[in-house]
Amino acid sequence: MASNKANKLAFLSMPAPASYVAGLGRGASGFTTRSDIGPAREGPSAEVIAEAQAKRGEEPEIDQDQFQDPDNEYGLFAGTTYEQDDEEADKIYEAVDAAMDARRKARREAQEQAELAKHRAERPKIQQQFADLKRGLSAVTDEEWESIPEVGNLTRKKRKKDERAFVVPDSVIVGDRAKGEYENALDPMQQEHGGFETPADGAMTNFVEIGQARDKILSLKLDQISGTSTSSGLSTSIDPKGYLTSLDSVVIKSDAEIGDIKRARMLFDSLVKSNPKHAPGWIAAARLEEHAGRMVAARKLIKQGCEQCPKSEDVWIEAARLHNNDDAKVIFANAVQHVGQSVKIWLAAADLENDAKSKRRVLRKALENIPNSVRLWKETVNLETSASDARILLSRAVEVIPLSVELWLALAQLETLENAKKVLNKARKAIPTSHEIWIAAGRLLEQEASIMPADAPEADKKKTYDMVDKTIEAGVQQLRKHQVLLTRDQWLKEAEKCETQGSVRTCEAIVKATITMDTEEEDQLDTWMDDAESALSRDKVGTARTIFAYALKVFPDKKNLWIRAAGLEKAHGTPESLNQILERAVEHCPQAEVLWLMGAKEKWMAGDVDGARAVLARAFDANKESEKIWLAAVKLEAENDQLEVARELLIRARTIADTERIWMKSAVFERQRGQLDAALETLSTALSKFPKFAKLYIIQGQIHQSQGKISAARGSFSAGIKACPKEPTLWILASRLEEADGKSIKARALLEKARQVNPGNDELWAEAVGVEERSGGAAQAKSMLARGLQECPTSGLLWTMSIWAEPRPMRKTRSLDALKKSNDNPLIICTVARLFWAERKIEKARQWFQRAVPPRQDDATETGADIGDLWGWWLKFERQHGTEEHREEVRVKCEQAEPHHGLTWQAIAKDLKNSKKSIREILEMVADALQ
């Protein structure tokens, strides 16, 4: 039984648990020694750990941040060496990143700008909200500013009053009490000497003398205060009338300004003490005291500045400015001892003198000290009243300063022609790199030729003028030898300068000698045309004329060049010069019909009908089958009432040239003469030859309609539509014929079919809108107009109709949309001008009318100036609000533009009654017809 009893001490022989620490239960912490853990050894490698984790089915732990920072690698490549290949790879990646960033930069910045603009629009700054009010403050007058009331206390807070109390002294209380009492007893001294009698030696006091002495002292003090001291003491320099006025000039400085002055004074004081040789510091300190009204302190400071900085001319000039005239002369006398080489000092000293003799003396003294100053020589010469004295001075000046171009040119101007040539030759040898001297030589030769007597031989004049060209050409060559390379633009500017000064031949010589510089042969024509246009834009007609003349010598067969040159002569030249240029033009370009026509027209407009006939006769020889020349000859004879000759010319033209336009003009000629049967016969023959010419059908239909033959007119228009379906005028005339016959439904059908055949034609849509309006369907007209704008979004005609269809308050907004959509169409610009006219904004309306009819650069480009209706609206406006000068300006510009288009203009100009009317007369009729 005893053997079965458990042994309580058996645990002592048992091994300790793995986690057992001796004494831990009673609070002992224990420690570990090297003998407990054994010798040091390396831990398991990463591969062993990974293999053990794989046997246990655990996933290896991966650090997600080991690849995040390439500059601090501690993952896969943590132990590798950073080599040159790595650096190159990093640079490549950086270049790729930069390129990608640059591609996105514009879009990102645009997006940021848009977001910022949106944010600013939603939440503008306080400064932006009041920007218009701040700009409006510029118009506030001084009186309005002074009348603004004081702000006062707007915080609505009750300010705490100063309720401090002080004890009143007893002396104040006693004195206040005795203030109203009367003395009714004599003091001991008065009782001793017998009352109020003064204890003197009995002499009487003279109060009159005392008063006079007081007045004299007061008068002396007033005189001293006012700045004068007179012997009588009764005179002062105070003006009783201007005293109050003079008080306005007294500057009353605010506390803030006084504080600023004090701070600035401390700053400048520190500046001049720390750096006493700094001249601008002394000047600024003196000017501060001057601004503060302390002239004595300012003069004292600038005196110290002169002592500290005697080599600074600015300090001396500032010191002279702060003193009166006499003291300033003394200051400059001291200044020239220290800075005797300063031109500014000498010139300022000369300005102090009142008479020319004294100034001349000072300047000559200055030249003794500074003989190489061009400015001093020029000032000295300007003071001379005698040309001979000035010539002597300039002769000495160019000896002392031989490299001054100004002095040489001034001396040449004062000399006679022969001596001037000698002077310029000396100048050219002294300064071989000056182009001004060569130009002056050319101008001198031109002047010599211009002052030749009237009876002098032309050969001598021509020889002298040729010398101008040779001189300028030699000058350009000499300058190139001396490496003076002026650009072609610089030479052209010099030419324009010569033209401005009246030396036209010198200007031409410069252009001829330098126009080919810096230009490639294939670009010469375009470059010279641009040069001529730019010169004309600056009103340098002579330069432009010379450029055209040289270009015509190089390119005599360029028709456009002759046309430009003729346009220049027409605008700025004489009729003789224009005829000369046109004669030369037709000699070099005999096949250019436009040049022949221009020559004939100019002679006709000048009243020389025979000369115009002669030009056209020569044109026939050069261009026998020219349609334009035949028609011009017919027009010339018809306008001069030579009807039979015109008819014979047309018959010959139909035989020789035989063009569709000549047949059409033949029919129009017969129609204008009232020979309708002959016109119809001519049209029948023409249609058999030219069945695809739409105008023949138009004229035939109009003749039948004028005769009342509706069915025949309908047949002509129908035949024309079948033969020429792409001609919108035929469709419109056919529609109007049906509408005039009372068949509006058929007119609509014709226009609908026309729009299908000619999509995108705004004239057809406008006619359809007009049909609806004339038939009384305003809603249908508005719907038709909307459909037309959808198909023709840039049509100025449709947008104009849309603007006037809107209510008056909406027209401005509609016109703004129209200008954006139609790219500033002339019709819409004219409509905007009419809107301003309706609002009585006269000047704005006139400006917009001018914008609507800009001048054409050439005949090829069409602008608003070719639309006669615009000129009619402008003249109608000037009739109501302009002067006669304004109206005449419109008429002259319209005659120059020669418009041909416009609904009202064409209807009036092509009326048979107005066949012989001029452009001016038609313009007046158009202005009357417009509503």
- The per-residue pLDDT for range 419-456, each reduced to its tens digit, is 888 888 888 888 888 888 888 888 888 887 777 776 66
d(CA 216, CA 222): 10
Long-range contact set of residues 276-281: C-beta below 8 Å, sequence gap at least 24? 276/308, 276/309, 277/308, 277/309, 278/309, 279/305, 279/309, 279/312, 279/314, 279/315, 280/314, 281/305
pLDDT of residue 213: 73
Q: Is the pLDDT reported for residue 231 higher than 50?
A: no
Residue 147 has pLDDT above 80, yes or no: no
Which of the four pLDDT bands, split at 50, 70 and 90, describes residue 153?
low
C-alpha span between 847 and 833 (Å, rounded): 8
Which of 14-23, 94-103, 774-783, 874-883 has the highest average model confidence (pLDDT)? Answer: 874-883
CA atoms within 13 A on the CB side of 661: 10
Measured distance CA(692)–CA(721) in Å, rounded? 10
Of the pLDDT bands very low, low, confident and very high (cuts 50, 70, 90), residue 523 is confident
Percent of the chain with pLDDT strictly greater than 70: 83
**Residue 271 CB burial class (10 angstroms; 0-12, 13-18, ≥19):** middle
Please report the pLDDT score of residue 235 as a whole number. Answer: 41
Q: What's the CA dihedral at 820, 821, 827, 833 to 10 degrees?
A: -30
- Are 848 and 873 a contacting pair, CB within 8 Å? no
Residue 251 is given by DSSP the state -
pLDDT digits (tens, 9 = 90+) for 278-323: 888 888 888 888 888 888 888 988 888 888 888 888 889 888 888 8
- The number of CA neighbours under 13 Å toward the Cβ of 288 is 20
Whole-number pLDDT of residue 2: 46
Q: Is the pLDDT of residue 194 over 60?
A: no
Among the listed residues 573, 619, 580, the one whose alpha carbon sits nearest the alpha carbon of residue 600: 619
Q: Which residues contact 345 (CB under 8 A, 6 or more apart)?
A: 313, 316, 317, 332, 335, 336, 339
- For residues 73 and 474, which has the higher predicted lDDT (pLDDT)? 474
pLDDT at position 619 over 50? yes
- Look at residue 412 and give its three-state secondary structure: helix
255 contacts: CB under 8 Å, gap ≥ 6: none
Task: Give the 3-state secondary structure of residue 55.
Answer: helix
pLDDT at 820 over 70: yes
C-alpha–C-alpha distance, residues 619 and 907, integer Å = 33
Whole-model pTM?
0.59
The torsion of the CA quartet 116, 117, 118, 124, rounded to 10 degrees, works out to 100
CA distance 225 to 223: 5
Whether 870 shows a pLDDT value over 60: the answer reads yes
Structure confidence at residue 247 as a pLDDT band (50, 70, 90): very low
In one-letter notation, the amino acid at residue 706 is S
Q: Which residue has the higher pLDDT, 78 or 95?
A: 95
Contact between 328 and 321 (Cβ < 8 Å): yes
Confidence at residue 873, expressed as pLDDT on a 0 to 100 scale: 92
DSSP class of residue 123 equals S
